[in-house]
Amino acid sequence: MLCAACAVGFSGETQKPQPSLRTIRFGTLPVIQALPLFVAAEKGFFSASGITVELESFQSGTEKDVALMSGQIMGYFGDLLTPMVIKANGAPVKIIAQNFNTTGKRRMFAIVAAPGRTAATLTDVAREGIGAGSNTIVEYLTAKLLAARNISEGNLKIIEIKSIPIRFQMLMSGQVAAAALPEPLVTLAEMKGGRVLMDDAGLNLSPTVLVFEEKMLRDHPNAVRLFLKSVDRAAAFINDHPEEVREIMNRNCRIPEALQKTFAVPSFPKLTRPNPAQWKSVHDWLRQKKIIRNDITYEQIVDDGYLS
């Protein structure tokens, strides 16, 4: 009788038990902004919270998105753009937190002129062509950086180079006048003679977010909350012990060997909800480019009810 009573709610209706959860499979990319995830895993913060998390690192955002839509992973780390695209394509996903943005003096993205192009301006390289990936967050950021200098997107020529390592090599060899690059390749390019024409420091243009499939949120809300608390704990640990996590950063975040001892470990804020104005900027750009065909509301893509 006691066991039967445990399965009955106050209304007298039988409550359906939540499916058991053995492991949270979460996709990442080998980039600096994902560092709190790697630290949470390697320092045991996930397991200390009572959850088992397997991080799967993908080499490209496309691979990661396919893995989510095929059910190989339950959630992922990424930029603000891709969740809206896969949501528009029918994938039931929600952004549950923002974990990083470029505030203060920290940069994560820049337009870099090739070595030897000492006199080139942003206007010059925009017209000649900037190496980037079209219809991606990189093209969006490039357009926004140029707009901040009153250079319209109509005056921007994108030279299609999806692969970031190939883009870097083509920049260094002078095959393109400029390229849009993430850190730490921006710093490496400067070391090798490249010149930063503009970066995203202080512009709040480059948020990264944590995403889960809606089924995971519906079936295991407490596990999701514990996941986020573990990531917040890892961010605080990074801020207090930056040198202690340098090896984790070097190993997981594609830090070139020449920078492994000197590249500054970034500070991370507490997890927060994505800024609605930033979301709208990305959404409107996607609609303008016809990458998504229908409007998506903020409430349809963001659920911040799992933050502590």
CA proximity to 181, closest of 203, 193, 166, 202: 166
pTM over 0.95: no
Contact present, 56 and 28 (Cβ < 8 Å): yes
Rounded Cα gap, residues 303 and 62, in angstroms: 23
- Residue 180 and residue 220 in one domain: no
Task: Per-residue pLDDT tens, the chain, 308 aa: give them.
Answer: 233 333 333 334 444 445 568 899 999 999 999 999 999 999 999 999 999 999 999 988 889 989 998 899 999 999 999 999 999 998 999 999 999 999 888 899 999 999 999 889 999 999 999 999 999 999 999 999 999 999 998 999 999 999 999 999 999 999 999 999 999 999 999 999 999 999 999 898 989 999 999 999 999 999 999 999 999 999 999 999 999 999 999 999 999 999 999 999 999 999 999 999 999 999 999 999 999 999 999 999 999 999 97
Q: Detail the DSSP E strand segments found in 101-247.
A: 109-113, 130-132, 158-160, 178-182, 195-199, 208-213
- Residue 90 and residue 124 in one domain: no
Query: 68 to each of 109, 148, 222, 281, how far by Cα in Å?
Result: 26, 34, 21, 25
Rounded Cα gap, residues 86 and 292, in angstroms: 9
- Residue 79 and residue 159 in one domain: no
The CATH number linked to 148 is 3.40.190.10
- Residue 95 and residue 116 in one domain: no
- Residue 227 and residue 277 in one domain: yes
Range of the domain at 266: 23-101+207-301
Choosing from 158, 179, 199, the residue where a domain stops is: 199
Choosing from 174, 199, 224, the residue where a domain stops is: 199
- Residue 55 and residue 191 in one domain: no
Task: State whether residue 64 is helix, strand or coil.
Answer: helix
- Residue 231 and residue 276 in one domain: yes
- Residue 211 and residue 245 in one domain: yes
Choosing from 167, 199, 231, the residue where a domain stops is: 199
What is the 8-class DSSP label of residue 14?
B
